[in-house]
Amino acid sequence: MKHRATWAWIAAFVGGAVLWLAVAGVSGKREAWDSSIYWTVAYPLGIGLAGGLGYWVPEKPWRWGLAVMLAQALVLIVSGSDFGLLPLGLIVFSILALPTVGVAVFMARFRLSSRKF
User: Would you state the pLDDT for residue 1?
Assistant: 61
Measured distance CA(96)–CA(87) in Å, rounded:
14
User: Would you state the pLDDT for residue 117?
Assistant: 58
Q: What are 18-22's contacts with CB under 8 Å, separation 24+? A: 19/43, 19/45, 19/46, 19/49, 19/68, 19/72, 20/71, 20/72, 20/75, 20/76, 21/75
**Can you state the percent helix, strand and coil of the chain, rounding each to 5?**
85, 0, 15
Tens digit of each residue's pLDDT, the chain (117 residues): 689 999 999 999 999 999 999 999 999 998 999 999 999 999 999 999 999 999 999 999 999 999 999 999 999 999 877 778 889 999 999 999 999 999 999 999 999 998 765
Q: How many CA atoms lie within 13 A of 10 on its CB side?
A: 6
Q: Tell me which DSSP letter residue 116 carries.
A: T
Q: Count of H helices and E strands in the chain? A: 5, 0
Cβ(70)–Cβ(15) below 8 Å:
no
Terminal Cα-to-Cα distance of the chain (whole angstroms): 22
